[in-house]
């Protein structure tokens, strides 16, 4: 049965979208029964296109294709939060307050990472760090699946 990880960032334009595409690529390569989605907690209209050009460039330089057509950012809903098997918000300092403010009834567990936005650090620093976090998550989920098979 396919499980879902939901990546959250502020605008669903840069960090969460990058994590979604990278995760789905790596999970498919490894045959991991997980699929990623991504959403934003506070969408704004200051983006240039549907997804960050820096994120698309970083992925494509590594042979990872962003599916066409590239969808525009989407805001998370309470139903999506409840349905996800795992939720990862990419920066606790930004996203914990937004989650609490916009979804006060949501009590599910959220894993918080510490990945800055483009306003705080350049993509050359952020994207490799985010890729490392996604890689660690994939390893963890793969190990968990192997342990479940051993017990099963």
SS3 label, residue 69 = coil
The count of structural domains within the chain is: 1
pTM score, whole prediction: 0.95
Helix axes 123-151, 15-30, angle to 10 degrees: 40
Q: Average pLDDT of the chain?
A: 94
Asked if 116 contacts 91 with a C-beta cutoff of 8 angstroms, the reply is: yes
- Could you tell me the CATH number of the domain that includes residue 43? 3.40.50.2300
What is the residue whose two structure tokens read 């795992």?
86
What is the residue whose two structure tokens read 């479940």?
148
Domain span at residue 11 reads 3-151
The pair phi, psi for residue 49, each rounded to 5°, is 95, -175
Task: Kindly report the number of other CB atoms within 10 A of residue 56's CB atom.
Answer: 19
Look at residue 108 in the predicted model and tell me its pLDDT: 92
Instruction: Give the span between the Cα atoms of 26 and 18, in whole angstroms.
Output: 12
Asked if 31 contacts 113 with a C-beta cutoff of 8 angstroms, the reply is: no
pLDDT < 70 positions in the chain: 152
């Amino acid at each position: 049965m396919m499980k879902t990880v939901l990546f959250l960032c502020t605008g669903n334009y840069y960090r969460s979208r990058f994590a979604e595409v990278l995760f789905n690529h790596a999970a498919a390569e490894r045959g991991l029964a997980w699929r990623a989605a991504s959403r934003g907690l506070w969408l704004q209209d200051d983006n240039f296109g549907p997804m960050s050009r820096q994120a698309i460039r970083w992925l494509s330089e590594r042979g990872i294709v962003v599916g066409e057509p590239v969808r525009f950012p989407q805001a998370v809903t309470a139903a999506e939060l409840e349905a996800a098997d795992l939720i990862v918000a990419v920066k606790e300092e930004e996203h914990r307050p937004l989650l609490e403010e916009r979804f006060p009834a949501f009590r599910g567990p959220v894993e918080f990472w510490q990945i800055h936005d483009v306003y705080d650090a350049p993509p050359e620093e952020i994207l490799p760090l985010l890729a490392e976090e996604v890689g660690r998550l994939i390893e963890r989920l793969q190990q968990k699946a192997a342990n479940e098979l051993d017990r099963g």
